[in-house]
A and B are shown apart, each in its own frame.
Chain A
Amino acid sequence: MHENQVGYFCHYVPWELFEACGLRGTLVTPAPPFPREREAFFPVPFCPFSKLIAEEIHRAPFSLYVLGFACDASRRTKEILEYLHTKKNLPKTILSLPIPFLGSSWGIQRLAENLRQLSLQLALLAGIHPWEVETRLGEVILSSYEERKEISTLFFAGRLPTQALLTHKRGESLPSQEARPSVLLIGSHLFLSEVVQIAEECGLSVIEESPRGTGPWLILPEQDFVPSSDPFLDLARLYTLHKFPCPRVNQRRAQTIHKMVDHLSLTGVIFLYPQFCDAFLYQLGLLRRFLAVPLLPLAHDTEPNLAQWTTRIEAFREVVRCAPSSPMAPQKL
């Protein structure tokens, strides 16, 4: 295995599991220039992120990938990749982690079971005993929880600098900032830095929640995590009940964002989303319902749209500046 490295995607694939197996997990992150070699396998109205992930995995160096599938697009992407790899006989192993519906205790139990199954496969590949993985996992979860708590405390106080976590390595100390953010940027996996830069150039101070930045680290401050005797169930609980909800967990996420905007007295929200992602698209409709501050949606396909975004963010800055100091009434559906 390539230096014990595992490429993974999405954020429901817990890096804690890799660590417990003695592996190093790297989130698959498409970076430009984007190739277009596998485009023919995807329909036009399809998640741009999935399309780019397929390209990235195809050209990336790791021999082992773990793909979580939590939506139709990621499931189909996994199937296409499996097909391509079998056909071309590529020396890559693709494991998958199905992410169930997480709104009920059934789904959480099933996620725990899926994690257990995945750990068996990983242990076999890494050449360690599954029992050892299970023992280590409990410790890794505890230290991960402490680290997440620290990050989240800074974040919910509005003191975590934007993009601080894009390059954050575990164990490194965290920078903090005094300036209060005014706008929340809800980001997609792609083009986050571009939008942060435009917003900052427009004089907006931004706090960011995105799948590549703070998103994977944040846990909700309300409830304490109490470990049980089953580390797989604990991991499933950590990722479902404690983690900042991802766009797929509709109402909880919208409520959480609403609370956060209130708590930090933010004046607006920029919503950067992949054009054909159902999870983000539903989230947009719900956020409009929940939020009492101006909301700016910015869509992207496989390329950024910098000129248009700049114009729209500039206009948004004026809206935010002119917005009444008391929050608007939430919009009714």
Chain B
Amino acid sequence: MHRPPQWLLKSFSFLLNRKMPFRLLKAYTRWLEWRKPPTDLAQFSYQVTLRSIAKLYGREGKVVWASLFFPSEFIYAFRGLPFYPEIAAGLFAALGFAEIPLHRAEKAWFSQDLCSYHRLGLGASLWRFFPRPSFLLATTSICWGTVSFFQVLEEIFRVPCYILDVPEEYSSEAIRYLAAQLEDLAHTLKEKEGVTFQWEEVFHHAQKALSMVQEIESLRKRKDLLLLPPTKNLDYLPYYYQFMGDEVAVTFFEQLRAFLLSSTQTLPHRLLWLHLKPFYPSPLPSLLEEYGLGVVCEEFTSLFPHELNPLEPFLSLGEKIASLSFHFTHPKARTKRILQWFKEYQAEGAIQFNQWGCRQSQGMNALLRQSLRREGFPILFLDGDHLDRRHNTQEQWRTRLEAFAEILRG
């Protein structure tokens, strides 16, 4: 891609840091809602995205950046506006703009070997493309790269950064330890940021969204339905993380369920999708369709299944963090969950799209392969990068998917 000139990027950054354009955008979104009430998922998502942009860049509240496993319910509870830079990085790539921030980060000596979710986040932050945070919240899971990433963001924006230390195990002590840190954090934020917490409504929305997701999962377990084009569900990641606790997620999942019930498409093979996927425009989804490889379950859209109790908010959220972290990062727990999905979703195999700079997941590949092989399930690891095309091995995708489809056909 040809990089736009500096003056253009600077002007763009200047505009992004003014409130006025986003007041206008807000007026437009209101008009759009009135003129064209969303009738399908695409229109709904489009309007939600515009509204979020207007709110975040128009600074209609405290903009709070969080790492993927930091629960958005905590932020909604004090009426903050959650912003997940790792998710926004995916959106940037989907729009085809990844190269600009990636290049900016590398110019500042953040190596190409770092995870591109973080590198892109750094570049976009250095360009001031993302909405300026009031403060930062992160957990030490899903990976240690997240911690360093947030520490550098702290340095770039000179705003407070609060990091929760997540133990490696999933136990009542771990949950209590996390709950105590969350409670401590809530006190600090009350004191320093003057916020107050209201849990009922937020937990109510999260709960409703969760039951909707569980219905969707039940639908996806049916063999007569395939439901979504392969890997499409990962485009809805913001609803599973950033909007949890907001009414928007409930409405979205209601719409998704309605869409799924009306869909009749199926593909010959049912697969699990591990880790994320390339978010830049690529032929991967169509290749999967071509070889009949349907995706019925994605690791990252599998939610924390427990109820959130507004009377014990910190314990509930502590448990959410501990459970998510454990099931994603502990090899035995992760494998166990994957094997359970194989049964529940009647899946025949799994695909993981490796992320170049991700030691956390790639370091587990050998053991995961062995465990699945022992149980008779094939797994395909595709190499590449989710956001940075330069690490991509697109030429090999076709051959490898073809070979995998053959294995599945037996």
Interface residues of A (CB under 8 A from B): 40-43, 45-47, 70-73, 75-77, 79-80, 83, 98, 100-101, 103-104, 106-107, 110, 248, 250-251, 275-276, 278-279, 281-282, 284-286, 288-289, 297, 333
Contacts and interface: CB of A to CB of B under 8 A. Distances in A.
Interface stretch (B47-55, B139-147, B297-305): B139-147
Interface in B358-392: 359-360, 362-367, 370
A37 to B, nearest CB: 13
Nearest to B154: A251
Interface string B113-135: 11100000010001000000000
Contact of A250 (B109, B115, B151, B367): B151
Contact of B155 (A46, A278, A333): A333
20 contacts: A43-B354, A43-B359, A71-B144, A72-B359, A75-B363, A76-B360, A79-B363, A98-B168, A101-B165, A104-B163, A106-B165, A248-B147, A251-B154, A278-B114, A282-B145, A282-B151, A284-B111, A285-B122, A286-B155, A289-B155
B366 A45 contact: no
A42 B114 contact: no
Nearest to B142: A72
B356 interface: yes
A43 B391 CA distance: 14
Contacts of A41: 366-367
Nearest to A254: B155
A74 to B, nearest CB: 9
A286 B155 CA distance: 9
Contacts of A79: 331, 363-364, 367
Nearest to B104: A333
Contacts of A288: 108-109
A106 B366 contact: no
B255 interface: no
A233 to B, nearest CB: 16
Contacts of B97: none
A279 B167 CA distance: 19
Contacts of B163: 101, 103-104
Contacts of B356: 45
B181 A100 contact: no
B367 A251 contact: no
Contacts of A279: 144, 148
Interface of B: 105, 108-111, 113-115, 122, 126, 140, 143-145, 147-149, 151-152, 154-156, 163-165, 167-168, 177, 180-181, 184, 331, 354, 356-357, 359-360, 362-367, 370
Nearest to B330: A79
Contacts of B181: 104, 106
Contact of B148 (A40, A73, A282, A289): A282
Given A47-B359, A101-B140, A251-B155, A285 B108 contact: yes
Nearest to B181: A106
B359 to A, nearest CB: 4
Contact of A276 (B149, B167, B359, B365): B359
A12 B143 CA distance: 19
A248 B144 contact: yes
Contacts of A275: 113
A54 B147 CA distance: 25
Nearest to B354: A43
Question: Nearest 7 pairs between A and B by C-beta?
Answer: A76-B363, A282-B148, A43-B362, A101-B165, A72-B359, A72-B360, A285-B110
Contacts, number: 125
A56 B105 CA distance: 35
A100 B168 CA distance: 9
B362 A46 contact: yes
A70 B126 CA distance: 28
B275 to A, nearest CB: 13
Contacts of B145: 72, 278, 282
A72 B114 contact: no
Contacts of A281: 110-111, 113-114
A289 B156 CA distance: 10
B86 to A, nearest CB: 15
Contacts of A43: 354, 359, 362-363, 365
B209 to A, nearest CB: 30
A253 to B, nearest CB: 10
B359 A73 contact: yes
B168 A286 contact: no
Nearest to B147: A101
A278 B110 CA distance: 10
A285 B144 contact: no
Nearest to B139: A101
A251 B110 CA distance: 15
B365 A286 contact: no
Contacts of B114: 278, 281-282
Contacts of B144: 70-72, 248, 278-279
Contacts of B362: 43, 45-46
Given A76-B364, A101-B140, A251-B154, A333 B126 contact: yes
B359 A250 contact: no
B165 A107 contact: yes
Contacts of A71: 144, 359
